[in-house]
Structure 1
Amino acid sequence: MARADHLDPDSSHWHWLAVDLRVWRLERNLSQAELGALLGVDISTVSNWESGSAKLPKGRAEALDRIWKTRGHFARLRNLAESSHNPDWFDQYTRYERKAEAIRAYSALALHGLLQTEEYTRALVLSGELVDDVDQAVEERMARQQVLAAPRPPELWILIKESVLQDPIGGPDVMRVQLDHLINLSHRPNIVIRVVPRSLGAHPGIDGSFTLLECDGVDHSWSEAVGGGRLVSDPTKVRACRVKYDRIGADALSRDCSRNLIAEVMEAMQ
């Protein structure tokens, strides 16, 4: 998100919330430090809320309404921002991804971006993703994978629907390299890859891919959709997503069995 002086409240409800927070604070002649003291946070947290670089939590919005007697204004505005489309969502998601301590994802239609080879990514982009510059889109996705080479990379737990392994994205040659890449990644100590078998049939992840991010002690969820996705930070909704992830994982193959299945699919890819 942008700095406070570049926020656009007309196009983003999150920007609107950030601007209102600053306006209402200044109307009460409060400094950021004084507002932080009222809400039990430090000045940098308030600054991040007002600049839009962090989202005002639901509990803090409700606290503001009580303290300032704003009749639910901030809670309603936050709910509106949470439920509406926001063009900044994916940018914010990648910010969280870069500093996440743990990433848990379920891949229902395509492999998670952190696991993709360059040619697999290029095939996906060329097949239908609406971008102006294919090379740039591929480069940006590859750059996200730098988090896996960091001195302290995140714990990465990935559940993959079996059909994702079998779809020949980019053709058999590209897919064989991709599957071999998955096997290599699966041997890293911080990466767990497990396959959800086709025989499972209907399961909690049938409605699509999603990702859970643990970042600075706060959990967020990202649900993919056509043309974008949705980032959620509300604890109740994130908790429901975590329960769904755990239920899918309960029926997934073990790490070793998953690795063997990936190898079998790779060998059979024609």
Structure 2
Amino acid sequence: MPNVMPSTVLGRQLGDELRRSREAAGVTTAAAAEVLDCTKGKISRIENGHVPVRTPDLVALMEVYGVMDTESRERLTSLALRANRRRREGWWHEYASVLSDAYRDQIEMESICDSIRTYQVQMVPGLLQTPEYGRAVTVASRAWQTAEEIDRFVQVRLARQERLTSAEPMEFWAVLAEGVLRQQVGGPDIMHAQLKHLLTMAERPNITVQVLPFTRGAHSGMFGPYVLLSFPQLASLDLVLTEAPTGNIWMEREQEVACYRGLFDDARMAALPPTESLALIQRVAKEHRA
């Protein structure tokens, strides 16, 4: 399966408007491609928000699409400038040496989404990891070799967590398979501290943690972990992220996203209620210290 590079939300909004303008004008993707002297594939990538739009290209497209009123042209131009600036800026760019393009895209999406729902089967979500747990995961991945690379990657993970504790924090809802609590990442002391950290974070009003116990048996989420990102007042722009050893896979078609919404609803309904989940986390934390 190909690794689909996500767009920025602003880029997708711009692409949606350009597509609607093109279709309203009766212009085919082939005709639009001739205007920019590019392939039809590039027009599709522009309309999906996967590539930035240079100002001269935007002006040319507005001309052929018949977008002539000043207000519409200014709005589209402003949207393009903001989308392109969002791609270039962000605290994560200073860590470019240890971040893949796909991971930078994930961080960018996190920086502008307003809620995340995730189901995890093997490890604690990165946004809830302690530094020690995160370091153990990073070392085990073998993706980074030097101590400096590992340190910088752990710093990135900690910086991402500020989205949960900022003045305007995102909503975060995690359903964890019971195996996440029992997998000894880094050893019993690190696991004890990690589970205590989960309990602390779950006290925040914007964070919900549930555990899906082994006793629930077979369920619809057994195929693997995923992350569902939602954006303010733009449900049609929701994204799903699944992770694989060879790279992240993004899904943005409404049918695909709706499927994962249903899977998450199944997971949270099958999981223990939050209060019982936290009680189980507390018990397992003690077991790691026994």
Q: Report TM bin, short chain.
A: 0.7 to 0.9
Structure 1 counterpart of 2:134, from 121, 139, 145: 121
Distance 2:66 2:188 in 1: 58
Structure 2 counterpart of 1:93, from 71, 85, 106: 106
Letter in 2 for 1:211: V
Q: 1:131: Cα distance to partner? A: 1.9
- Conservation of the 8 A alpha-carbon contact between 2:62 and 2:68: no
Structure 1 counterpart of 2:197, from 178, 181, 185: 181
Note closer, same or farther for the CA distance 1:43–1:33 as it changes in structure 2 (3 Å cut).
Answer: farther
Q: 1:27: Cα distance to partner? A: 5.1
Matches within 5 A, 1:1-270: 14=45, 18=51, 30=63, 34=67, 42-47=76-81, 53=87, 88-132=101-145, 133-218=149-234, 219-269=238-288, 270=290
Distance 1:208 1:35 in 2: 49
Letter in 2 for 1:195: V
Note closer, same or farther for the CA distance 1:33–1:226 as it changes in structure 2 (3 Å cut).
Answer: farther
Q: What whole-Å deviation, never above 9, does each CA across 1:174-231 have from its counterpart, x for those lacking one?
A: 0000000011111111111000111122222212111111123331111111132112
- Conservation of the 8 A alpha-carbon contact between 2:178 and 2:212: yes
Q: Which runs of 5+ in 2 are unaligned?
A: 1-6, 12-37, 89-99
- The CA RMSD measured in Å over matched residues stands at 3.5
Q: What percent of counterpart residues are identical?
A: 27
Q: 1:122: Cα distance to partner? A: 0.3
Q: Which runs of 5+ in 1 are unaligned?
A: 55-86
Note closer, same or farther for the CA distance 1:234–1:129 as it changes in structure 2 (3 Å cut).
Answer: farther
Q: 1:104: Cα distance to partner? A: 0.7
Secondary structure of the equivalent of 1:237? helix
Q: 1:52: Cα distance to partner? A: 8.9
Letter in 1 for 2:181: L
Note closer, same or farther for the CA distance 1:28–1:130 as it changes in structure 2 (3 Å cut).
Answer: closer
Number of residue pairs matched by the alignment: 231
Deviates more, 1:215-224 or 1:16-25: 16-25
Secondary structure of the equivalent of 1:152? coil
Look up the match of 1:66: none
- TM-score, normalised to structure 1, is 0.73
Note closer, same or farther for the CA distance 1:246–1:28 as it changes in structure 2 (3 Å cut).
Answer: closer
- Conservation of the 8 A alpha-carbon contact between 1:18 and 1:52: no
Q: 1:120: Cα distance to partner? A: 0.1
- Conservation of the 8 A alpha-carbon contact between 1:32 and 1:46: no
- TM-score, normalised to structure 2, is 0.69
Secondary structure of the equivalent of 1:259? helix
- Conservation of the 8 A alpha-carbon contact between 1:32 and 1:43: no
- Conservation of the 8 A alpha-carbon contact between 1:168 and 1:175: yes
Note closer, same or farther for the CA distance 1:265–1:134 as it changes in structure 2 (3 Å cut).
Answer: same
